[in-house]
Chain A
Amino acid sequence: MDGRNIKRIKFGSFQPDIGVLLELKPEDFTPVKAETPEERVPGTENGSYRHAVWMRFKKKKAATAAFCVLVLIIIFAFAGPIFVSYGYDEFNSGAENLFPWHYSLEDQAVLDKAMGSTEDRLSAALNKAAAEKGSALSSIESAKIKAESDNPFTDMSKIARENNIHKKPFGYSLGELERKAAGEKVFPHVFGTDKYGRDIMVRVMIGTRVSLLVGIFAALLVLFIGTVYGLISGFSGGGVDMVMMRFVELIYAMPDMLVILLLSTVLKPALINYQSSGEGVLQSLVGLLGPNLIAMFIAFALMYWVTTARIIRGQVLRLRSQEFITAAKALGAGPGRIVRKHLLPNCAGQIIVTACLEIPSAIFLESFLSFLGVGVAAPMTSLGSMTSDALSGIETYGYRLVIPALLLSVIILTFNLIGDGLRDALDPGLKMKGEKL
């Protein structure tokens, strides 16, 4: 560059003197020393945005704890079945209706002796009641006593208490106890078994797996649709935006549970027809997942994207008028580049938080539908269908209901807490203003 054309001294200007800059040589530079904490410019500690978010997230005790619990649940659901030697749909004959506890073989022998046969117990109970009353029993009274003695478990625990026999944890059938006594290795039924002799712990693991996967995939589907819709609507603006948002309002005003229940009913026969129509890839996919689950995915995708779309549209509208977008436009960036390079990365926070709040609502919905019998089809299981199955034996086998029901609540709770924590960490200025969910 010709030195004469450069103004050497620009009076009153703070611009660096380009001539001086051009004449700088490598020797003029010295390496920067590692800065001490005191020298750092405030607010730039620890570098990247991602790191700052992570630090803020770690400070939220509830969210971190929820994250750890969720990791444990995921390990339980995905690695657990490897260690348990029973299949989730395996009927263990002779091990039906086991409780999550057992009596040792010797104790069981004592109990059996003390209890006697069912008829003995019934006549003993009848005689005792008659003796107490002092006269013969009416037919209603004897029927009542008969009904009570039909449930051997109440008597058994009473006798066990009288004989000072304690329950041991985990369920074993008598046959399994004998094999164990003979030195064989027998895996315990930690949560007992159901009426077909299926191991409940394995079923809970598989059910958790199904619930988690369904939740995550449904949420991804909804996120994708909602994000694309919101981006287009917010970015286009004007008449397009208005029409698109009218449609969102229309879907938003429809009662979602009602429509989803209806859709899953309507879609099921159509999907069964489709499944038997040929041997293509899509047909086998329907066969693999079951028509109920596919119907649920479709219904969820049709109804739940509106929340995401509204959030993303709002964010895009806020960003669209900012200087850096104008700058990008001025530099000749096309709409595709602006969306990809500028809008999407700035929506990432919102997208992640929405995902964390959509997953529990998908899990919730799956369990709701399974509970009503229009969800996951047998022999596959989910936490919702296990809860629903357990309702019939609730008086005696309450644990079968409590375990999946509580696990389901814990999963939803952890996702909610993580979502709340992430929202605060990503955008400390934004506090709960009562969005949906």
Chain B
Amino acid sequence: MAKYTLKRFASALVTILFVICVTFLLINSIPGGPWTSDKNPSKATVEALNEKYGLNKPPIVQLGKYLENLAKGDLGVSLKMQKNRPVAEIILEKFPVSAGIGFFALLWSLIAGIFLGSLAALKRGTWADSLIRVVCTVGVSMPSFVIASLLLTAFTGKDGTGGVFPVIFDFSLGFKSYILPCFALGLYSMCYIARQTRASMLDELSKDYIRTARAMGLSSFTVVFSQALKNAVIPVITFMGTDIALVFCGGFVVETVFSVPGLGRYFVQSIQNRDYPVILGTTVFLAAFIILMNFLADVLYKAVDPRIELTKGDR
């Protein structure tokens, strides 16, 4: 187990390093550099700017410098959006907002998904099962921006903000303004988890220990929710790693639609504004975060079910 964890951790680190290098070299290969979209600065100005930010050195040297700074927690400074403000500081300000929404989205999708999936398996073949299956099939087919914009249409009041739930994110309104973004973010995961739980629950229900439990007189409800559930949620854990990535990337759109001042919206804006240090820093940060979460999900998966043999190239 310890060996496996170490191995997985090492490969996660390699992946992160790979992502950093690729991202850095990609951003540096953009023709014209970051100054082109300004009002055509003179050649001397460009050279001076390049000198100041170290952009005139060969890419490999720049990459080394960047990695060195990164190890110290320095991600460079914003060039355009918030001039000269450290990127690390911006991320630390914006990330908790995204993480808050992501956390609640994951929480509700996990609880509702597992419950609905188990219910569908328990009531297999009835109208409840059909209803849950239809809803979930439709749910995994709707892109998060479609869900978000439809919610926006449904809840926009006459003056643009009213309605039951505020469509423009506002901290002062407390949890009320979390409801729509969290719902939009979590719907896909909820449907996916419910489908997954239903499938693995049906697998589980056909096993001998369930038959024994039923023969001993336990009700089917008890069997599903206290005995089979523990084993049926194991595959869901593998999905959690991917799901965190989905939720944070879905956040790009959902945060843009609901004007949430989070990292996702800031990332989209930095792309539109071509603020390269911000793009680079955010990509590196989010990629590292997602890869680490994947790593945790894998280790947890193995810890929960020691029978699982994780072989090479097969997860």
Contacts and interface: CB of A to CB of B under 8 A. Distances in A.
Contact of A364 (B143, B149, B159, B257): B143
Contacts of B294: 253
A258 B199 contact: no
A368 B143 contact: yes
Interface string A238-259: 0001100110111001111111
B16 to A, nearest CB: 9
B313 A249 contact: yes
Interface string A257-282: 11101110110011001000000000
Contacts of A253: 11-12, 15, 291, 294
Give chain B's interface secondary structure class: helix
Interface in B135-194: 137-138, 140-143, 145-146, 149-150, 152-153, 156, 158-160
A372 B23 contact: no
Nearest to A261: B271
A245 B11 CA distance: 13
B101 interface: no
A394 B156 contact: yes
Contacts of A242: 312-313
Interface string B1-38: 00000000001101100110001001101111000100
Contact of A258 (B27, B156, B200, B286): B286
A242 B312 CA distance: 8
Contacts of B23: 262
Interface in B222-256: 235, 239, 242, 245-246, 248-250, 252-253, 256
Interface in A336-395: 360, 364, 367-368, 371-374, 384, 387-388, 390-391, 394-395
Nearest to A272: B31
Contacts of B19: 254, 259
A257 B141 contact: no
B145 A401 contact: no
Interface residues of A, number: 60
B118 interface: no
Interface string B77-102: 00000000000000000000000000
A409 B30 contact: no
Nearest to B12: A253
Contact of B152 (A246, A248, A394): A394
B279 A395 contact: no
A432 B195 CA distance: 9
Nearest to A313: B313
B290 interface: yes
Contacts of A151: 158
Given A409-B146, A413-B137, A273 B253 contact: no
B141 A413 contact: yes
Give chain A's interface secondary structure class: helix
A368 B274 CA distance: 19
B50 interface: no
A406 B147 CA distance: 10
Contacts of B296: none
Contacts of B252: 257, 261, 372
B196 interface: yes
B290 to A, nearest CB: 4
A398 to B, nearest CB: 4
Interface of A: 147-148, 151, 154, 241-242, 245-246, 248-250, 253-259, 261-263, 265-266, 269-270, 273, 310, 313, 360, 364, 367-368, 371-374, 384, 387-388, 390-391, 394-395, 398, 401-402, 405-406, 408-409, 412-413, 416-417, 431-434, 436-437
Given A255-B248, A416-B141, 18 more contacts: A249-B11, A253-B291, A255-B290, A257-B246, A258-B286, A262-B23, A262-B27, A263-B26, A265-B274, A265-B279, A367-B145, A372-B253, A372-B256, A384-B145, A387-B146, A391-B152, A394-B156, A409-B138
25 contacts: A242-B313, A248-B313, A250-B15, A253-B12, A255-B248, A257-B249, A257-B252, A261-B268, A262-B23, A262-B283, A266-B29, A269-B30, A270-B31, A367-B143, A371-B145, A374-B271, A388-B145, A401-B150, A402-B150, A405-B146, A412-B141, A434-B195, A434-B239, A436-B242, A437-B140
